[in-house]
Amino acid sequence: MLIANADDTAVFEYWHVNTFDYLDFSASIMFDWVDVNMGASDGQKRNLSAKAAYDATAATGVDLAGYDGFIVLMLPGTGLIPNPEAGQPGQPDFLTYTFDGGTGELPDQRPAAVFPVMSSDHMFMCHATGHVPGYHHTYGLMNNGTDWNQTDKNYIESPESREPYDIMSSASFGSRWENPAETHYFGSPTYFGPKVAGWPFFNAFKMGPAPARAQVHLWDGAAVPKASLIEIPTPKGSSKKFVRLYRATSYLWFPTLLIVKPSTEGASGQGRIYVEYRDAQGWDVGVKISGSDLSRRAVVVHALADTPSDGTRCWYRGRILVPLETDGDLIVPDQKLVIRVIDVSPSLEYVDLELVETSGHEVHIDQSIHDIEVNVVNETVRHTPCGDLHSGTYSLDRNSVFTPVTYGYGGYGAPDRPSLKLTWQVGSVTVAPGNHVINPISTDGKSVTIHTTLDSTTDVLVLVSSASDGAYSVEVRCTASELDGSNAQDAADDFEPIGQYTGLRRTDAVALRACLSKLLAVVRLRPRDLLIPPGPDPFRENENNLINLERLEKAAKLVDIVSAKTGVELRSMVKLLYGSLRGGGNVGRD
Ligand SMILES: [Zn+2]
């Protein structure tokens, strides 16, 4: 549990791994158990427990002078005190209490972490062990973690020691749950690890999260390998900086920590900003990938700032959820810096960030299109080397998903600060949340029927056309503002169902493309040597396909040289695929 085990999950290994071997405890020794005599309530003071253990160990003759700090295991870590109600019916003579645990110090001021075995889980032990070599608490969200008497109405709140992404937060991880007059929020980035044989406490295996990379660097810059670090000055004016950051648990030769240094950085680093990407992996496996828990997979920002009494500390300054939601950026409080996540790798292994001095507000719309076949007439079948190909007149319902992407709104990332207000208009109709049917007027003046679904959490809008309305275009407009309506910006896109078309069935077109690859293989060409792949823009796709048509016609001539039969087959395929682009097709002309 403490030094090493087969799963590499022991407390020392936690710190060893998370400092990239820098902190290794290799000169540490586990001393023999000693018995100590303590007063009835001495266990309620961790410094007294530490002193008793230290004195009893020193009395066995070992030399404790050369050690920087100590860890004391108290077994079982419980004591008995006289019951003030003893003698009354059903009352025992003594009550059991649990010893005080945590990191204190010996009379000579060397640190000592005290772990009552019956009440110490793995997460708590990693936290308190972190204090011994000098890790401090982080600061950030207002929380109730420092309210030791939670039964009274005196709600104590502090920004100390609790945020969702660092082991030095310990236990409450930024949660606020006491005062009913305030917004409540909750973070729990821990998880239950493999059982450690012989450890008696039922909750002993609550583990994680990793220390914030920011905390490791602040503790000792040498504990973060150069290869995993990117350091840049704060961008100025309109200049932008682009950075690719890998998840914090990646191998050390990938950049996992970004440091942004302002020109005004203080002597203790005040103003410095740390950015890291925390995914649900390794010691962060307890990080959540959905839901309202604060400890979601995210790009996490810390900054160094002074505290009222503890000096310069790492402050949690918010996060940007991954995958991206509506609010894709964050303005670092008290700094003129906007951090935007502009892309996330498909495997979620890395994120691409853009950093720029605070600018205005922006909103963009992403549209993804799916056409669903609802009717077909006059269908004919052709038997070809590529299998049976169907042509006919097909009716399609268009199903478009409009995703808003905003920059610059509600950037503080505090959970009680709602990020922004978003409204959607289709034509002149304002879309309400939930499922509805609307009848906007299209750009050519006809009334059309559209099914709308607006998700009130993500602000994603889904529009479904009715094939019987034919082809039309209607404007889709998205307006973003702060909750009070300030900083309003809008963006527009078009919803353009095609209604009906005559030609090759869409699924056959896919099969045809695959078959085309085989024919091209005869002359050792790959489709990607010739063809521009379909993109998101239907207009450009048409243009691209005209280019593809030309290229394939040239390829067919090459194929003729190798195999006249394959050349003929290729021409007929090309005609099927792209013939309609030339209004019926002069495919094969010279
Ligand atoms: Zn602590």
Summarize pLDDT for 284-343 with one digit per residue, the tens.
999 999 888 889 999 999 999 888 778 899 989 888 988 776 667 888 866 778 898 988
CA–centroid distance, 393 to ligand 1, in Å, is 70
Nearest to 274 by CA among 227, 217, 331, 223: 217
Residue 188 CA to residue 58 CA, distance in Å, equals 40
Residue 106 CA to residue 95 CA, distance in Å, equals 28
- 323 preceded by a cis bond (ω within 30 of 0): yes
CA–centroid distance, 98 to ligand 1, in Å, is 18
Number of H helices, E strands in the chain: 8, 28
pLDDT digits (tens, 9 = 90+) for 40-81: 777 678 999 999 999 999 999 999 999 999 999 998 888 888
Residue 387 CA to residue 219 CA, distance in Å, equals 66
CA–centroid distance, 185 to ligand 1, in Å, is 21
Nearest to 490 by CA among 362, 403, 400, 367: 362
How far are the Cα atoms of 201, 251, 349, 479 from residue 101, in angstroms, in the given order? Answer: 14, 34, 38, 53
CA–centroid distance, 7 to ligand 1, in Å, is 26
Residue 292 CA to residue 185 CA, distance in Å, equals 8
CA–centroid distance, 559 to ligand 1, in Å, is 74
For 376: left if phi > 0, alpha if psi spans -120 to 50, otherwise beta; the answer is beta
CB atoms closer than 10 angstroms to residue 488: 13
CA–centroid distance, 546 to ligand 1, in Å, is 66
- In the 8-state DSSP scheme, what is residue 23? -
Q: Name residues whose C-beta falls within 8 Å of residue 151's C-beta, 6 or more positions apart in sequence.
A: none
Q: Name residues whose C-beta falls within 8 Å of residue 326's C-beta, 6 or more positions apart in sequence.
A: 403, 404, 405, 406, 419, 420, 422, 458, 459
| Residues 129-154: b if buried by 16+ CB within 10 A, e if exposed | bbbbbebbbbbbbbbbbebeeeeeee
CA–centroid distance, 203 to ligand 1, in Å, is 19
How far are the Cα atoms of 12, 245, 256, 312, 374 from residue 349, in angstroms, in the given order? Answer: 27, 9, 11, 32, 39
CA–centroid distance, 413 to ligand 1, in Å, is 24
- In the 8-state DSSP scheme, what is residue 442? P
Question: Which amino acid, 179?
Answer: N
CA–centroid distance, 357 to ligand 1, in Å, is 35
Residue 349 CA to residue 402 CA, distance in Å, equals 25
CA–centroid distance, 126 to ligand 1, in Å, is 10
Q: Which two tokens stand for residue 51?
A: 């002193």
Residue 97 CA to residue 119 CA, distance in Å, equals 11
CA–centroid distance, 47 to ligand 1, in Å, is 14
pLDDT of residue 143: 78
| Residues 146 and 160: beta-carbon distance below 8 Å | yes
Residue 496 CA to residue 505 CA, distance in Å, equals 20
Residue 231 CA to residue 261 CA, distance in Å, equals 7
Q: Which two tokens stand for residue 407?
A: 């920059």
CA–centroid distance, 124 to ligand 1, in Å, is 9
| Residues 175 and 143: beta-carbon distance below 8 Å | yes
Q: Which two tokens stand for residue 539?
A: 């207009």
Q: Do β-strands 111-116 and 70-74 pair in parallel, antiparallel, or remain unpaired?
A: parallel
pLDDT of residue 42: 74
CA 388 to chain centroid, in Å, comes to: 46
Instruction: Spell out the domain ranges in the chain.
Output: 11-155+168-182+189-207, 213-362, 365-501, 505-583
How big is the chain, counted in residues?
590
CA–centroid distance, 191 to ligand 1, in Å, is 19
| Residues 71 and 112: beta-carbon distance below 8 Å | yes
CA–centroid distance, 9 to ligand 1, in Å, is 20
Q: For every one of its 590 residues, what pLDDT tens digit does the chain have, with 9 covering 90 and above?
A: 899 888 888 999 999 999 988 998 888 999 999 999 887 777 678 999 999 999 999 999 999 999 999 999 998 888 888 888 988 999 999 888 888 899 999 999 999 999 998 888 899 999 999 999 999 998 887 778 777 777 777 777 777 767 899 999 867 887 888 888 888 888 899 998 877 777 776 555 789 999 999 999 999 999 999 999 999 999 988 789 999 999 998 877 899 999 999 988 999 999 999 999 999 999 999 999 988 888 999 999 999 988 877 889 998 988 898 877 666 788 886 677 889 898 899 889 999 999 988 756 778 888 888 888 899 999 988 887 777 888 889 999 999 999 887 767 764 444 544 567 899 999 999 999 999 999 999 999 999 999 999 988 778 899 999 999 999 999 999 999 888 888 888 999 999 999 988 888 877 877 777 777 777 776 666 666 666 655 545 455 566 677 777 777 777 777 777 677 777 777 777 777 676 665 433 333 33
CA–centroid distance, 145 to ligand 1, in Å, is 11
pLDDT of residue 424: 97
Nearest to 257 by CA among 299, 319, 315: 299
CA–centroid distance, 162 to ligand 1, in Å, is 10
CA 278 to chain centroid, in Å, comes to: 6
pLDDT digits (tens, 9 = 90+) for 291-301: 888 899 999 99
CA–centroid distance, 90 to ligand 1, in Å, is 38
CA–centroid distance, 229 to ligand 1, in Å, is 27
The helix, strand and coil proportions of the chain, stated in percent and rounded to the nearest 5, come to: 20, 35, 45
| Residues 442 and 505: beta-carbon distance below 8 Å | no
User: In sequence order, what are the beta bridge partners of 197?
Assistant: none
| Residues 181 and 214: beta-carbon distance below 8 Å | no
CA–centroid distance, 212 to ligand 1, in Å, is 15
CB atoms closer than 10 angstroms to residue 538: 11
- 209 preceded by a cis bond (ω within 30 of 0): yes
CA–centroid distance, 313 to ligand 1, in Å, is 14
| Residues 207 and 9: beta-carbon distance below 8 Å | yes
Nearest to 492 by CA among 446, 541, 424: 424
- In the 8-state DSSP scheme, what is residue 222? G
CA–centroid distance, 128 to ligand 1, in Å, is 6
If you write DSSP's letter for every residue of 142-175 in order, what string do you get?
EESTT-S-TTSS----EEET--TT-GGG-TTTT-
CB atoms closer than 10 angstroms to residue 19: 19
| H/E run at residue 429 | strand 429-430
pLDDT of residue 436: 96
